[in-house]
Structure 1
C-alpha cells in the first residue's frame, strides 16, 4: 500500500512517562493512504533511523541514539563507538516547500556549497562542512569533515549529517523515507 504524507500544523508530542529508552520521544505525522480517503498517523522518532541501519549503510560503529525533542523537531545523536565522529539526524514535521527552501538558503548563507540532489523525496540538497581530506573525499577517519543531506517528503524533512560520503547519506535517507 502506498502512503503519501500530508503536512501537519501542530504535531502531537508522544512521550512515555518514565521511559528509559533515549529514543522513545516521538511526534506524529499525518499520512493518508493513496486513493483510500482514510487518514492514519505515522510515528516520527529516532526509531525510524535504527543504529543498525546507520552502521550498515554509513560504515560507522555507532551507538544507539539519544534524542532531544523541540516540537516539531526531534534531533537524534548517534555517537561513534570507536572515534570522536558522530551521526546527527534531524526529523521535522510540518515543513512545506517554502520552509525547506529557507533551510537550504540558511546553509548557503553560512558559506557552504549547496548542491541539489534528485531522485529522493520531493526536494533534496547536499553539502559538506569543513576542509576535505587530502584525497578529496569524506572519511570516517577524518572526523573534522562532515557532509549533510536534507530531504523533503510531503510535510516531513529528514536531515542527516555525518563524516560519511554524500552518496551513503543519500542511501540512508532513501531507506528511511521508504519506511514512512
Structure 2
C-alpha cells in the first residue's frame, strides 16, 4: 500500500502558518524549519514558494497589510450610513479573533516584533496612519467633530488586542455611545 500523498501547500498556507506561529511563539518561530514542522512538511516546500526568509517575511507583512486594512474596509456594508459603518468597523476591530490568522494575539505580536525589526515597524507605522485616516473620515461623515475621537477609538482597539480578553466589544460600545 502506498502512503497518501501530502496535499500541496500554497504560499498562502505558509503565510497563514507564519501568522499563527508569530502570534503563538513570537518572531523567532518565523523560520523555514519551524514552519515546516508546524505544517507537517519539509522546508523544500517553503523554498518552492519563497526565494529566502527575507522574501517570506516581506510577503507575510504585505499580506498582513492587505488583510488588516483593505479586506476589513471592503467588508463594511456600503448601504449603511457613515455612523453605521464606523460602528461596524469598531466592532470588527474589537471582535476580530480569526484563529487561522493568529487570532487576537497577532497584532500585539506584530507590535512586539516591530521593536526589533525596522521593516515591521515601518509597516506598522503605515498601517496605524491608514487606520486613523479611515477612522477620521468615518467620524467626520458621522458628525463627530472632536479631532481626538479617531485616535481614541484606535487606541481602544489596540488596547483591546493587547488585553486579549472578551470585553472588547462592550468597551467599544460604551465609547461609541459617548461620541
Tell me, yes or no, whether TM beats 0.5: no
Higher strand share: 1
Greater relative contact order (CA < 8 Å, ≥ 6 in sequence): 2
**TM-score for both structures, normalised by structure 1:** 0.27
**TM-score for both structures, normalised by structure 2:** 0.27
Structure with the greater alpha carbon radius of gyration:
2
